[in-house]
């Protein structure tokens, strides 16, 4: 059982996460959080993420370990952006491996809810640049 956390400057890339040996899991879920163009009813160009380190990494690691134990996961990997992430790009990725889908799905929902509530990562919307007249 492993919990891995990575804080990355800018948008996340597209690499496929490393998988544990296939005999160890029956469900693999990858959740990608993507910056959308509408934030609270206004059009934006990006989100800027501020991460309070090292507390955020430590809390994400501890939360991952809790999910491993509570839901009987095989592995969990968390990646979160720091800094500016343009619309359409990934800012968050949660990869969960479990013996069964029910445990994996429950862990994904609980992890994201608790991360948003408890972990010191803040986002601010960056408006579209004004057009020149």
pLDDT value of position 1? 77
Looking at the domain assignment, is residue 20 inside a domain?
no
Looking at the domain assignment, is residue 21 inside a domain?
no
Looking at the domain assignment, is residue 74 inside a domain?
yes
pLDDT value of position 16? 61
Number of domains into which the chain is organized: 1
CATH number assigned to the domain comprising residue 76? 3.90.1170.40
Looking at the domain assignment, is residue 22 inside a domain?
no
Is 117 buried (19+), middle (13-18) or exposed (0-12) by CB count in 10 A?
A: exposed
Name the E strands within the chain: 2-9, 27-34, 38-39, 42-51, 73-86, 90-98, 121-127
Evaluate whether 57 touches 120 at the Cβ level (below 8 Å): no
pLDDT value of position 14? 80
Looking at the domain assignment, is residue 18 inside a domain?
no
Domain residues for the domain of 33 are 2-11+27-127
Weakly modelled stretches of the chain, pLDDT under 50: none
pLDDT single digits (tens) 35-69: 999 998 999 999 999 999 999 999 999 999 999 99
Looking at the domain assignment, is residue 6 inside a domain?
yes
pLDDT value of position 45? 97
């Amino acid at each position: 059982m492993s919990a891995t956390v990575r804080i990355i400057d800018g948008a996340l890339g597209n690499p496929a996460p490393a998988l544990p040996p296939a005999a160890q899991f029956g469900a693999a879920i990858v959740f990608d959080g993507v910056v959308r163009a509408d934030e609270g009813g206004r059009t934006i160009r990006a989100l800027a993420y501020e991460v309070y380190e090292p507390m955020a990494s430590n809390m994400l690691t501890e939360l991952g370990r809790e999910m491993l134990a509570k839901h009987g996961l095989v592995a969990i990997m968390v990646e979160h952006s720091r800094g500016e992430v343009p619309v359409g790009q990934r800012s968050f990725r949660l990869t969960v491996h479990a013996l069964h889908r029910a445990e994996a799905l429950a862990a994904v929902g609980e992890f994201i809810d608790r991360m948003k509530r408890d972990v010191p990562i803040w986002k601010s919307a960056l408006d579209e640049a004004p057009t020149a007249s």
